[in-house]
Amino acid sequence: MKIFETKESIAVFSDREDGDLSFFNMNDECFENTWEKLTQNMSVKPSLPVYVNQVHQDNIVQLVKGGSIPSIRTNADGLITDIPFTAIGVYTADCCPVLISGKRVVSATHAGWKSTLKSIAYKTVLKYDELYGIKPSELSAYIGPCIGQCCFELGDEVYDMFVSENSQWERFFIKKEKWHLDLRGLNRYQLTQAGIPDNQIIDHNECTYCMPEKYFSYRRMKKRNGSMFSFIFLK
């Protein structure tokens, strides 16, 4: 587990030592016990986490006090909230988790290649100003472990989609036998293009595919056989 703590928030990226954190596959008792164990040594204890059904699109759900609570039946790939002590998180096993913290707002984004093509990280940053009047320059972002360019092979048709969407994104591909995408680098670029200063982005730069002892990897394992959970909450 990697923890980033500021005076406003705590951001967490789990790893394989924390076990399979696919909470949506657990009964209530197992879910609560696993969460208690995961958070037992934190300086501040958050509530049980809120998460959604990730569908590789660009929907970002706002969690508001007194409003309806998103659930696994909610199709989205991002969450944003200003409710203190409420953990929001995303599941990954190769995709890129992006956690963002402002003075009184936090967000969690699941950025696989399809959501990255739709600029979900960029759109998440814009939500801070749109919903809360918080400027990008006031934000800090954390990029978690994901599949690296070393291992992320994609076909010509995917490369063509990215370059057609934005010619500047070509720089994040290299050609070997197939095209290799720097998913982490492109999400960082989107965050800076949205206005977050580069020196306010922390990148936990490790490849999930390359490190079987530390991370689950959907591509390496050829199926879903465990998930990391990345989450953030306001103190």
The pair of three-digit structure tokens given for residue 134, joined into one six-digit string? 């918080």
Closest listed residue to residue 91, CA positions, set 79, 104, 103: 79
Residue 157 amino acid letter:
E
* C-beta separation of 140 from 115 below 8 A: no
Q: Which tens digit of pLDDT belongs to each residue from 144-195?
A: 999 999 999 999 999 999 999 999 999 999 999 999 999 999 999 999 999 9
**Residue indicated by tokens 């969450």:** 79
- How far the first Cα of the chain sits from its last, in Å, is 19
Helix, coil or strand: residue 230: strand
Can you give the pLDDT at residue 109?
A: 98
Instruction: Please tell me the predicted confidence (pLDDT) of residue 72.
Output: 87
Predicted confidence at residue 224, as pLDDT, reads: 63
Q: What six digits make up the tokens of 195?
A: 């206005």
Q: Which amino acid is at 45?
A: K
Q: Does residue 109 contact residue 183 with C-beta atoms inside 8 Å?
A: no
Top-confidence residue, 89 or 72: 89
Tell me the CATH architecture of domain 2-149+184-234: 4-Layer Sandwich (3.60)
Report d(CA 133, CA 67) in Å as an integer: 20
What pLDDT was estimated at residue 54? Answer: 97
pLDDT of residue 69: 84
Place of tokens 């705590």: 10
Nearest to 211 by CA among 112, 153, 145: 145
Among 118, 146, 99, 129, smallest CA distance to 59 is for 118
Q: Where are the domains of the chain?
A: 2-149+184-234
The 173-175 sheet, strands edge to edge: 153-154, 179-181, 173-175
Sequence-distant (≥ 6) Cβ neighbours of residue 67 within 8 angstroms: none
Q: For 27-35, what is the mean pLDDT?
A: 96
Spatial contact of 93 and 207, defined as CB atoms under 8 Å apart: no
Strands 78-81 and 96-101: unpaired
CB 137 within 8 A of CB 111: no
